[in-house]
Chains A and B, each alone.
Chain A
Amino acid sequence: MNCEVCQLKELEVEHFEIREVLRCILHTIVFHRALGLVRPKDVDLELFEITYVQCGDMELEKKIDEKIEQFISWVEKHPNKKSQICLSFFEVKNKQAKWFTPKTERLQWEQWYINLNVAQHPKAHSGKSHNSKVVIDPGESALEERMARRAVLEASLHEVLFQIIKFVNEKKDHVPPIPNLEGVVWFPHEITIPSSSDSAFGMDMIKRMLQTGHPTMLS
């Protein structure tokens, strides 16, 4: 089975923007992979003039939020690092039981890489200068700067969303048949965030790729 990989455009975000950006992207992807009966829910981002779509499932929302929180805490421990979040979809296949191996295996058929570059300086800036010298002038200029940056990010996020749409449009053959099970709304998936040690994360990914076969195409 093909495993399609989509590398999304890197986004420069500030710390406080991570949550919204990730929610927007992750939900948009999952919505495209939710082929069960879905009652879509529109969500307006607070920081950006963007409306994205959720599946309207509380559990899914919770799961995604948890992962995002984990990611945020990871970012706090690893400032100034580019980071990657992987959302992968897989099929679960039964295989012959052997010692020390699970009875099921995951066959990944799609991976989405969300690339974030979390800018730390604004946060530090606000943290320090905020309290000590809340000077008006710098504040204003900083505000302008921030607005400009925000606009750029909004445009980039928009771009990423269209990247997702295009990918979904172009790559349809690898998507497994719609699950027939009642109540199954989306394909099984997993969100991988960098774990506490980078190497482990990398190893994990490599291992997984070896397990599931390699990506045939990079988009």
Chain B
Amino acid sequence: MASSHGNSHSEAAKMEQIITEFYAKSLHIILESRTPYMSSRNYSGEQALSSPSSSSSSSSSVRPRDKWFNLALRECPAALENLDLWRQSHLEPLVVDVILVQRPLDCEPVKCSPKRDLVRNLSLKERYPYCCNYEQEEFGCEAKSEKIIERWVVQYDSRKIRDTNSGSRRLSSNTLHSLYKKSMLLLRSLYVTVRLLPAYKVYRDLNSSGQIRPFALTHRVASFAEPFTCREEAAMQRFGFTPVDTACGRLCLSVLYCSSLSDVSSESSTPMSPQLIPDYVGSPLTDPLKRFPSLPVTGSVAHAFPPSSSFSRRHSWSFDHYRASPPSVSFSPSPTYSEPHALISNQSSRFPPTIMPPHPPETSLVYKKDTSFDEYSPAFSPSPSSASPSLPIFIPGSHHSKPLLQSESAPFSERTAKLANSPAFCNKLNLPLRGIGSGSSKTDKTGGFMEAGTAVEKFSSLGKDDARQYSEVKISSSSSSRSFPDDLDDSDFPCPFDVDDEDVTDPGSRPESFGKNVPLCEPHVPGGLFPIKKSQDAAVGALVRMLRKAPPLRQDNSNSVKFCPEIWGNSSQEPNQPFKGQASVQRDDSSSVISSGLITSKTTTVALEELQSYREMKNLLLGQGNFLLNFGSPSMDSQPLN
């Protein structure tokens, strides 16, 4: 690279440039393999795999930056950012801390490993507070534990005294060549080393799939190093690359690294085990999950929704012991009615209108009913026997429902209030709180909470007090001769997943479209899955039943109507706009149904069925799009029957 100009001044400048570029390249190499964003690694892999084409194409598109040290790296925005900053502080040491951010696993939606569940069972109450802490911290951006797992130091030691004189004299193109060659070698070994250190596994885990990990990698670039404590330092190993001597100094590169990240890796490995996680999280709602990693970045409530809903669902049905509580939450049709209303009214009174839509209660009721209904009517469940966990759950739930509901309702309102009040809430919520996040702005969420499995989980994340209450609820329910949880664990749990998978794929549009249409859709999703999975005959039967039993909808229509427009207006960004209209229509129905149910004081069973049927309708409509319009009107017509 160095031309033989012989001009010592230019040679010195070149040397300086080499050094500068060495810094830049080092930073790039380090951050490139430590900052998971998108699936950069996969991307590179693909690129590399198709090397013939890619290499050719790449060679044609060699960027100037790539030519430095003949090492073409893929784009790494993080490196570029930091580099710009660093360039201003010329030839200062470059300290790159790679930081492992760990979140408490239990709070993670993905935390599905059986082990964890066991733990959760054992210390349920304790766990809840923990989760709550986590959430709060998350909201407050404090909670996570950070640990520096690698510290890279790039620095140039200049021999000040004699080098200014002799250095310039000794500088020659030869030494420049040698410097360049050696730094090239050094960078190559850096490139290899970075991939051999333990932190790379963390990075790889984070990048390898769309799954959410209870940890993350971040980095800090500075020109100085915060000293480690003795203890920290003792836990780290040092690897020093052989310095490259220059005419007037030397380039040093070293790394302090944690030799064992076993805690992280073991944690991560457990959840990652192919059997558990894929079933649990990945399969049913693949798309939402994939979106997940991006969620924190976007931080938008709307985005948070779809995945969260999916998560909640999974939790409730499969692994989570929480779900014991879900039934309790959701089950009772009749009691729910009155009480939720009361709750809602309370809430609404507390909250400013913008935050709390007037008719949140209805929606919540509807949801509850739907879920419960699923359990309720054997016709819907594909596998009547034991396959559907829902059956056992809800039926018992209905019996116990009153006391449980009451307890729930109170916490619920509190929770929502908290949520709505906490500004951070929306941002942080995305994963764990899915429903809540939307709920913060709209009462609808409350409805979502009421739903069986989801509700419980969400609650757990919400607040300590609430969580405790829920746990209590759950316990009580379980104590009340609920065989449900066990069943789920044993055989049932895989089943729902399978069903879910189908559902997800089929309605396909649903998760995405609804996910974004924040409030309304979200609640629907969980309930919707069940109806969809059921056989078409069952669905038809349900429709017929629904038509027959359709309650009058008028009374609350006004409220419901108000409600819907707001929600949908928010979601106007969504591509699924056609759905909005439909959804709103349905919403009206459901809300009206609920209200009517209250007024008419139907029996629990009837109410449940009705709700269920409407739910089902809604789902069908949503899934099929145009289908909606046809059904929507008939259902309305048939309402008078009851």
Interface string of A46-70 (1 = CB under 8 A from B): 0001111110111001000000000
Interface string of A142-186 (1 = CB under 8 A from B): 000000000000000010011011001110100101100000000
Contact A32 B45 (CB under 8 A): no
Within 8 A of A (CB), among B26-58: 41, 44-45, 47-49, 51-52, 54-55, 58
Contact A42 B58 (CB under 8 A): no
Contact B185 A32 (CB under 8 A): yes
| Residue numbers in B under 8 Å from A56 (CB-CB) | 48, 51, 54-55
For chain B, the bracket of interface size reads 35 or more
Shortest A39–chain B CB gap in Å is: 4
Contact A42 B41 (CB under 8 A): yes
CA distance A32 to B192 in the complex (A): 9
Among A39, A53, A61, the residue within 8 A (CB) of B192 is: A53
Contact A42 B44 (CB under 8 A): yes
Among B66, B181, B193, the residue within 8 A (CB) of A37 is: B66
Shortest B138–chain A CB gap in Å is: 31
Q: Does A38 contact B (CB under 8 A)?
A: yes
Contact A58 B52 (CB under 8 A): yes
Contact A38 B70 (CB under 8 A): yes
Q: A37-B66, A42-B41 are in contact. Are A165 and B192 (CB under 8 A)?
A: yes
Q: Does A31 contact B (CB under 8 A)?
A: yes
Interface 9-residue window, one of B90-98, B196-204, B319-327: B196-204
Shortest A143–chain B CB gap in Å is: 17
Q: A37-B70, A172-B181 are in contact. Are A165 and B195 (CB under 8 A)?
A: no
Q: Does B545 contact A (CB under 8 A)?
A: no
Contact A49 B201 (CB under 8 A): yes
Q: Does B548 contact A (CB under 8 A)?
A: no
CA distance A130 to B188 in the complex (A): 44
Contact A35 B241 (CB under 8 A): no
Chain A's closest residue to B200 (CB) is: A51
Contact B181 A175 (CB under 8 A): yes
Q: Does A41 contact B (CB under 8 A)?
A: yes
Q: A28-B192, A31-B192, A162-B196 are in contact. Are A172 and B44 (CB under 8 A)?
A: no
Q: Does A188 contact B (CB under 8 A)?
A: no
Contact B70 A35 (CB under 8 A): yes
Chain A's closest residue to B196 (CB) is: A161
Contact B59 A37 (CB under 8 A): yes
Within 8 A of A (CB), among B307-351: none
Q: A56-B48, A58-B52 are in contact. Are A168 and B177 (CB under 8 A)?
A: no
| Residue numbers in A under 8 Å from B59 (CB-CB) | 37
Among B51, B70, B177, B182, the residue within 8 A (CB) of A58 is: B51
Contact B193 A41 (CB under 8 A): no
CA distance A61 to B52 in the complex (A): 11
Shortest A183–chain B CB gap in Å is: 9
Q: Does A138 contact B (CB under 8 A)?
A: no
Among A41, A42, A44, A161, the residue within 8 A (CB) of B51 is: A41
Contact A178 B181 (CB under 8 A): yes
Interface centre among A28, A39, A41, A177 (most CB of B within 10 A): A39
Within 8 A of A (CB), among B49-78: 49, 51-52, 54-55, 58-59, 62, 66-67, 70-73
Chain A's closest residue to B69 (CB) is: A35
Among B73, B184, B204, the residue within 8 A (CB) of A178 is: B184
| Residue numbers in A under 8 Å from B188 (CB-CB) | 31-32, 34, 38, 168
| Residue numbers in A under 8 Å from B52 (CB-CB) | 58
Contact B72 A38 (CB under 8 A): yes
Shortest B453–chain A CB gap in Å is: 36
For chain A, the bracket of interface size reads 35 or more
Interface centre among A34, A37, A158, A164 (most CB of B within 10 A): A37
Q: Does A102 contact B (CB under 8 A)?
A: no
Q: Does A40 contact B (CB under 8 A)?
A: yes
Contact B184 A35 (CB under 8 A): yes
Q: A35-B70, A41-B44, A42-B44 are in contact. Are A51 and B196 (CB under 8 A)?
A: yes
Q: Does A215 contact B (CB under 8 A)?
A: no
Q: Does B121 contact A (CB under 8 A)?
A: no
Contact B181 A177 (CB under 8 A): yes
Q: A37-B59, A51-B200, A57-B51 are in contact. Are A175 and B185 (CB under 8 A)?
A: yes
Q: A51-B196, A177-B177, A178-B184 are in contact. Are A57 and B55 (CB under 8 A)?
A: yes
Interface string of A103-141 (1 = CB under 8 A from B): 000000000000000000000000000000000000000
| Residue numbers in B under 8 Å from A41 (CB-CB) | 44-45, 47-49, 51
Shortest B32–chain A CB gap in Å is: 10
Interface string of B179-190 (1 = CB under 8 A from A): 011101110110
Shortest A16–chain B CB gap in Å is: 22
Q: Does B191 contact A (CB under 8 A)?
A: yes
CA distance A162 to B193 in the complex (A): 8
| Residue numbers in B under 8 Å from A53 (CB-CB) | 191-192, 195
| Residue numbers in B under 8 Å from A165 (CB-CB) | 189, 192-193, 196
CA distance A51 to B191 in the complex (A): 11
Within 8 A of B (CB), among A48-106: 49-54, 56-58, 61
Interface centre among A31, A38, A162, A168 (most CB of B within 10 A): A38
Within 8 A of A (CB), among B527-543: none
Among B71, B186, B193, B200, the residue within 8 A (CB) of A38 is: B71
Shortest B58–chain A CB gap in Å is: 5
Q: Does B242 contact A (CB under 8 A)?
A: yes
The 10 closest A-B CB pairs, nearest first, are A41-B48, A169-B242, A39-B72, A37-B70, A51-B195, A165-B189, A172-B182, A168-B189, A56-B51, A32-B188
In the assembled complex, 21 residue pairs joining A and B whose CB atoms fall closer than 8 Å, in A order, are A32-B192, A35-B181, A36-B70, A37-B70, A37-B71, A38-B70, A38-B72, A40-B72, A41-B51, A42-B195, A44-B204, A51-B195, A52-B195, A58-B52, A61-B51, A162-B196, A165-B196, A168-B188, A172-B185, A172-B242, A178-B70
Given A42-B44, A56-B54, A178-B177, 4 new contacts (CB under 8 A): A32-B189, A38-B70, A53-B192, A161-B192
